[in-house]
Amino acid sequence: MRILYHLPLSPFSRKVRLALMEKRIPFDLRLERVWERREEFLTVNPAATVPVLQESNGLVVVDSYAICEYLDEAYPDNPLFGRTLAERAEVRRLVAWFDQKFNAEVTRNLLYEKQMKRLLGRGNPDATALRAGYTNIKPHLEYIGWLAETRAWLAGGALSIADLAAAAHISSLDYIGDIDWTQSEAAKDWYARVKSRPSFRPILADRISGLAPPAHYADLDF
């Protein structure tokens, strides 16, 4: 059986989980506390990062983007990167937007500072970073809302890995109560559609010991 090494609140792990579920590819989840730097895991991925996908034949794929592209090429049913050149270009642009720009301006300033920093033993949250994260999230939600209002899904007419990348970041932040849904009704409506999909059920069922999500986290009519 293929194995996905992950962390529950990692948006990059969540993106791969959603891709596997949308493509109906069976897998086993394996929690990997990367800060422990297990020797067995380091032989799989010397960088000690998640997600990591290990196929039943021993093939190891590291990095969420590489994994998602691999899945779309190896298992072409239910494509997530678009069908035409134009569609694939737009999907890739938006995945980069969320995994690079949104991550740097929002996720890293909030999720990393409030959760991962403590686990990695790197001190207390930086107040300046937190302020930047809360300031930056509003224009990003507005951009998601604009995309959702002008297209069926974020990258065009079909659900794509761009929607899953965005929803992975949003859901991780929503778990720690850092999304103010009054800032964009259109973004909220889009996210409600994504989180209502069967692929999202395991994400909504996630619970981290000592950290309960807000009441609306798993509510489809939040």
What is the DSSP secondary structure assignment for residue 101, as one 8-state letter? I
Query: Whole-angstrom distance between the N-terminal and C-terminal Cα of the chain?
Result: 36
Distance of CA 1 to the CA centre of its chain: 23
DSSP 195-213: HTSGGGHHHHH--BTTBPP
Q: What pLDDT score does 118 carry? A: 76
Q: What pLDDT score does 124 carry? A: 84
Give 20-62 pLDDT, tens digit per residue: 999 999 999 999 999 999 999 999 999 999 999 999 999 999 9
User: What residue spans define the domains of the chain?
Assistant: 85-197
pTM tops 0.85, yes or no: yes
Mean pLDDT (the chain) is 96
**Nearest-CA neighbor of 170 among 144, 196, 148, 152?**
144
State the fold for domain 85-197. Glutathione S-transferase Yfyf (Class Pi); Chain A, domain 2 (1.20.1050)
Q: Could you count the other beta carbons within 10 Å of the beta carbon of residue 134?
A: 14
Q: What pLDDT score does 157 carry? A: 96
On the question of pLDDT at 122 being above 80, the answer is no
On the question of pLDDT at 187 being above 90, the answer is yes
Q: What pLDDT score does 222 carry? A: 87
pLDDT confidence of 178, banded at 50, 70, 90? very high
How far is residue 126's CA from residue 131's CA, in Å, rounded to a whole number? 9
Give 84-121 pLDDT, tens digit per residue: 999 999 999 999 999 999 999 999 999 999 988 877 77
